[in-house]
Amino acid sequence: MLEMKHPLSPPDIDLLPIPDDLPPFPEITLKELLSAVASFPHDSAGSIDGFRPQHFKDLLGKSLDLQHPSYQLGLSLTRLVNLIVRGEIPEFFRHIFFGASLIALNKKDGGVRPIAVGMTLRRLVAKIICSRVHQRAGEFCRPYQLGFGTKGGAEAVVHGARRFIEVNSDSCKVLLKLDFTNAFNMVRRDKVLSAWMNLFPAYYKFIHQAYGFPSSLSYGKNVILSACGVQQGDPLGPLLFCLMCLDKLKT
């Protein structure tokens, strides 16, 4: 069932290559790194590398103390994070770094919801990028998409729908609610990459490495290829999905 949830890439896929004239991104700082580490819940799981977010919290707890050994570790990790954002993950390791451990959550209808638990370092970088693009993404998506970058977006949708129904309730109205099947894993990656490139080109190399190539998903002793859609569990997944859907919503 999990394999069916991860379809192959469509044959007419047309992935946008990395342009030569991408704008640079501001170097990620130690303060940003520590803020992203702190944002992980204490019980966050690790992935195939066995490294949990709590390990980073324990190792980097005093990184702002210039005399503490963890300060140098924090600086080294910050340099590594900047390399990753620049898209410098080696090709032979790329499918593992951007892969994940799969968790199958049971659904009420008897199906399963695949949750991809990526490597902690990959999720850390994604969290930092999320933090940087959060405000602009919200401004760009509103009012068509409230799933990312809008505080209380879900509540706004609920209250808006209630008001739509209650005001002039005797008039003829239509309210359409849709639930897409396996939505995250079905979106076209070429559309995802193009949508990201149009809005946040400075971080395109990272997104291209993450979703421009197939990655490996581990479930027990089985390995499933992830070649379509975005991973549900990737901190950037909701934003990527929102951006891809935006043109359809506007029309």
State the average pLDDT for the chain. 92
- pTM for this entry: 0.92
Q: What is the mean pLDDT of residues 177-185?
A: 86
- Report whether 27 contacts 85 (CB < 8 A): no
Alpha-carbon span 223 to 233, nearest angstrom? 17
Per-residue confidence band for 13, with pLDDT thresholds at 50, 70 and 90: very high
Question: 91-124 b/e with 16+ CB inside 10 Å = b?
Answer: eeebbbbbbbbbeeeeeeeeebebbbbbbbbbbb
pLDDT at 137 over 90: yes
Q: Is residue 105 part of a domain?
A: yes
Greater confidence (150 vs 29) lies with: 29
Q: Is residue 79 part of a domain?
A: yes
pLDDT at 55 over 80: yes
Q: Which of 59-63, 125-129, 193-197 has the lowest mean pLDDT?
A: 59-63
Q: Is residue 44 part of a domain?
A: yes
Per-residue confidence band for 211, with pLDDT thresholds at 50, 70 and 90: very high
Residue 64, pLDDT score: 77
Greater confidence (78 vs 151) lies with: 78
Q: Is residue 183 part of a domain?
A: yes
Residue 245, pLDDT score: 87
Q: Is residue 31 part of a domain?
A: yes
End-to-end alpha-carbon separation of the chain, Å?
A: 34
Residue 228, pLDDT score: 96
Residue 169, pLDDT score: 77
Question: 143-171 b/e with 16+ CB inside 10 Å = b?
Answer: eebbebbbeebeeeeeeeeeeeeeeeeee
Q: Is residue 10 part of a domain?
A: no
Q: Is residue 6 part of a domain?
A: no
| Residue numbers of the domain that contains 128 | 24-247
SS3 180: coil
Residue 178, pLDDT score: 84
Per-residue confidence band for 101, with pLDDT thresholds at 50, 70 and 90: very high
Per-residue confidence band for 217, with pLDDT thresholds at 50, 70 and 90: very high
Per-residue confidence band for 6, with pLDDT thresholds at 50, 70 and 90: very high
- Percent of the chain with pLDDT strictly greater than 90: 69
Q: Provide the number of structural domains found in the chain.
A: 1
Per-residue confidence band for 191, with pLDDT thresholds at 50, 70 and 90: very high
Q: Is residue 224 part of a domain?
A: yes
